[in-house]
Structure 1
Amino acid sequence: MTNAAHRVLWTVVALLLVAVGGVTLALNLGRLPGGDPGGVLLSPGMRRAWRISAPWGALAAVVAGVLAALAGQWLLGRELRAARGPLRRMLAHSGRRRGRTRVPAPALARALERDLTGDPRIRRARVVLSGDPPRPDLWIRVDIAAGARTSGLRDHVATAVGRYVETAGERPAHLDVTARIDPGQA
């Protein structure tokens, strides 16, 4: 499911819950036809049916509530996992000729890490690809050796990202580069 589809789904769920709450409040305040502020929300017929269905009605309500809670937990877990998790799928690129090139996203991330650490001033590099494969987000963190000269490092990172773009055939939708000084060995 795409990010837009998730937003639409959560918007629909929120609007339904607000509508149910608003109708219940309006009935309780007597603002809707047939609503009595001093009365109960369930009609006598509905209360009678509830009593007749005992204990199975209560059991069905509990099962429906548990299923709704599990569905909500599953949706929330999928939403949170998609938001922070790295891209684990295959990136596919159709060239000018017949055929398709497929490369696992973690392999591209490791290759960019190796490319970045090719400069002796960079001790470690961490690359995370996330988002949708046509235009993934690229998150880079480099740890620079303490005392290293930083002139030219920006060009080195830009060149490595340029090689990644050429290799993957896809320009990142979002590029975030964080540089830190590695307090380890000087």
Structure 2
Amino acid sequence: MAAVRAAGGVTHAAHRVLWTVVALLLVALGGVVLAQSLGWLPGGDPSGVLLGTGLRRSWQLATPWAPLAAAAAGLLAATSGLWLLLRELGGVGVGRRGTLVHPGRRGRTRLAAGALTRALERDLTGDPRIRRARVVLTGDPHRPDLWLRVEIVAGARTVGLREHVNVALRRYVDTADCRPAHLDVTALVDAGQA
């Protein structure tokens, strides 16, 4: 599968790597600031600052709140970084509800189940003999259960209609890269249309 591109031409995998690096930097920065403010760094002075001498005066004026503020800022940066890291790495191999996920060599492709069912419905109604189609997709993304209901226009010739449905199903299976575990096709004649 080709790598999915995000806005700006960057692949989702590259986007994920970028945000993972940002998250790691936030965790590292937050950890250093927190450790410095608590005096855990070797040779570090908890009342000292990590920034230039111009801010040293402000730091001293803010004492005793400066170390507490630095600890809070470090904890906030570390927590933000961990949250971002877990968010970026936690989704690997896990599908979202209503989404089919297919891993590839250069990332994952996510296909919304609703978009797939609407595409199959449009494909089925591409034949003028089918007035309406309803598709329901449930179960495991790689072996889903698939229910089709097609309403055939009253008086339409049905020769070749089964083949049309089979071709649409093959296109769906190729697009979604899955094989239905259960397939149920119901064809009804729409008596309301003449």
TM-score (norm 2): 0.49
Q: Following TM superposition, by how much is the alpha carbon of 1:88 offset from its aligned partner in structure 2, in angstroms?
A: 5.2
Residues 20-169 of structure 1 aligned to structure 2 (within 5 Å): 89-95=98-104, 97-169=105-177
What do residues 93-150 of structure 1 show as CA deviations (whole Å, max 9, x unaligned)? 123x311110111110000000000000000000000111121101000000000000
Two-structure CA RMSD over aligned residues (Å): 1.4
Q: Secondary structure at the match of 1:134?
A: coil
Q: Following TM superposition, by how much is the alpha carbon of 1:185 offset from its aligned partner in structure 2, in angstroms?
A: 1.8
Larger relative contact order (C-alpha < 8 A, sep ≥ 6)?
2
Which residue type is aligned with residue 175 of structure 2? T
Contact 1:128/1:140 (<8 A) preserved: yes
Task: Tell me how many residue pairs correspond in the alignment.
Answer: 99
Consecutive unaligned residues in structure 1, runs of 5 or more: 1-86
Mapped partners of 1:178, 1:131: distance in 2: 19
Aligned to 2:37: none
Mapped partners of 2:182, 2:152: distance in 1: 22
Residues 123 and 88 from structure 1, CA distance in 2 versus in 1: closer, same or farther, beyond 3 angstroms? farther
Contact 1:88/1:106 (<8 A) preserved: no
TM-score (norm 1): 0.51
Mapped partners of 1:88, 1:181: distance in 2: 34
What do residues 70-103 of structure 1 show as CA deviations (whole Å, max 9, x unaligned)? xxxxxxxxxxxxxxxxx952101123x3111101
